[in-house]
Amino acid sequence: MASARSERTILLLVAAVQFVNILDVMMVMPLGPDLASALGIPVSELGLVGGSYTAAAALSGVAGAFFLDRFDRRRALAVAMLGLVLGTAAGGFATGLPSLLAARMVAGAFAGPATSLSLSIVADVIPPERRGKAMGVVMGAYSFAAVLGVPAGLELARRGGFHVPFFAVAGLGVLVAGLAIVLLPSMRGHLGGAAAPGSALRELRALASRPLVVLSYLATAAVMMASFLIIPNISAYVQHNLGYPRDRLGLLYLAGGALSFVVMRTAGPLLDRLGAFRTSLAGAALLVGVLYAGFHSYVPGLPVIGVFVGFMTSTTICNISYSTLASKVPLPAERARFASIQSAVQHLSSALAAFLSARMLRELPDGRLDGMDGVAALAIMFTLAFCPLLLWIERRVALDLASRAGPALAARPAGSLGGAPPR
């Protein structure tokens, strides 16, 4: 068991990795018009930039499930971060759509494993009873990326061109990768439970055949669909439908990210005390309310900043709830494998949601988006499906732990501290 000081160091390093990873994604979305102008990309094809990253991350997530659990976590994370850095830096050298797509695919291919390894490290180091608070620290990277990344990326691009944000994030990634190599301890404890190298496919099939794992992936898909039906369109919606000025767009991300960080720090300890389901109910209720009042049937006079901040805050609560609960599903020797498939499900679900919303929406002659009420209704449906799934998973996790603890205690000699047997 790691000491409290080493736990804090590891959590801060993992949070830094996630910050770079998320910032690499978030900075590209508001830079779309700049990229289109500088590289001669049709605005209608900007979706390919995010889609290429998502597709590569999904594929690497599936591939990583076969081998990530067979390596020292520290070394594997260092390789993933260095690949992410190279892909991000290459984006700054792009000369057109093909070279930009290639760069984003490289970045996405390494971002998927980096996320999987980060969550696996947290699950390796932090015991289940304190994991909610730990996940709150790590996922705070999302809020920091929103608070600092989007406004800074827009300003850097305004002053020095679209290249500068890519190079800045790459430089930050080099620093974080170096710190991870130097400060993270060697993490090989999960290797003791790993099977022979030739059984990777059998291990993956065994993992995917467990009902609890399938339920976890379904919950992942539901929460990502609910979020990403809205996220790719929220900037255009608040500007063209709600009349929010473009030059104040960074303020929305600043406010939303700041409040999300506060909520995340509060939600983590609540998760440890109340459980994932009861905590997620608050986030889901808020999300349904925001989706209905802000997107489905916009309430006149409702502040735009309230809609934006409410959406970010509610999705934050849902995300930390399912991430914390999902970390308790796999065994130590299969955590990276489990997280790799989970990462693939996240990216595939977000890509599917973005595609569905694009098919459902239509741009009117005055620039407004038509069809957002239908998109919001679909997002509400996925949100309502998410909560029962989380309740089901939470009960199955509790039963599973109880069933393993009983035989383990009965088999131990008095005073023994042996580990629990596998499921």
Beta bridge partners of 370: 362
Question: Worst-scoring range by mean pLDDT, 15-24, 213-222, 263-272, 386-395?
Answer: 263-272
Percent of the chain past pLDDT 70, that is, above it, reads 81
What is the rounded average pLDDT of the residues 171-195? 75
pLDDT of residue 84: 93
Mean pLDDT comparison of 8-22, 43-57, 129-143, highest-scoring range: 8-22
Global model pTM greater than 0.95: no
Render 306-342 in DSSP notation, one character per residue. HHHHHHHHHHHHHHHHHHHHHTTSS-GGGHHHHHHHH
What stretch of H or E contains 361?
none
Give the whole-angstrom CA distance, residue 200 versus residue 194.
Answer: 10
The structure tokens listed for 397 are 């996790």
The per-residue pLDDT for range 70-126, each reduced to its tens digit, is 777 888 888 889 999 999 999 999 999 899 999 999 998 898 888 778 777 877 777
Give the whole-angstrom CA distance, residue 272 versus residue 293.
Answer: 31
Residue 141 has pLDDT above 80, yes or no: no
The per-residue pLDDT for range 335-371, each reduced to its tens digit, is 667 877 787 788 788 878 877 887 788 778 877 878 8
What stretch of H or E contains 122?
helix 97-125
The per-residue pLDDT for range 279-310, each reduced to its tens digit, is 888 889 999 999 999 999 888 888 999 998 89
pLDDT of residue 137: 67
Give the whole-angstrom CA distance, residue 207 versus residue 202.
Answer: 9
pLDDT of residue 381: 96
Render 126-176 in DSSP notation, one character per residue. S-GGGHHHHHHHHHHHHHHIIIIIHHHHHHHHHHH-THHHHHHHHHHHHHH
Beta bridge partners of 363: 369
Residue that wins the pLDDT comparison between 373 and 72: 373
pLDDT of residue 192: 58
The per-residue pLDDT for range 46-58, each reduced to its tens digit, is 667 777 787 788 7
pLDDT of residue 414: 43
Residue 194 has pLDDT above 70, yes or no: no
For the domain made up of 4-186+200-401, the CATH class stated in words is mainly alpha
Give the whole-angstrom CA distance, residue 385 versus residue 222.
Answer: 7
Residue 39 has pLDDT above 70, yes or no: yes
Residue that wins the pLDDT comparison between 201 and 82: 82
Identify the band that residue 174 occupies on the pLDDT scale cut at 50, 70 and 90: very high
Mean pLDDT comparison of 357-361, 388-392, 401-405, highest-scoring range: 388-392
Question: Worst-scoring range by mean pLDDT, 28-37, 152-161, 214-223?
Answer: 28-37
Chain mean pLDDT for the chain = 79
Residue that wins the pLDDT comparison between 44 and 392: 392
Residue that wins the pLDDT comparison between 263 and 298: 298
Identify the band that residue 191 occupies on the pLDDT scale cut at 50, 70 and 90: low
Identify which of 365, 344, 270 has the alpha carbon closest to the alpha carbon of residue 66.
344
What is the rounded average pLDDT of the residues 144-159? 76
Residue 195 has pLDDT above 60, yes or no: no
Residue 422 has pLDDT above 50, yes or no: no
pLDDT of residue 129: 66
pLDDT of residue 420: 39
Phi, psi of 363 (to 5 degrees): -85, 125
Q: Is residue 150 a contact partner of residue 250, using CB atoms and an 8 Å limit?
A: yes
The structure tokens listed for 101 are 């797509």
Residue that wins the pLDDT comparison between 40 and 167: 167
Q: Is residue 197 a contact partner of residue 70, using CB atoms and an 8 Å limit?
A: yes
pLDDT of residue 127: 76
pLDDT of residue 410: 47
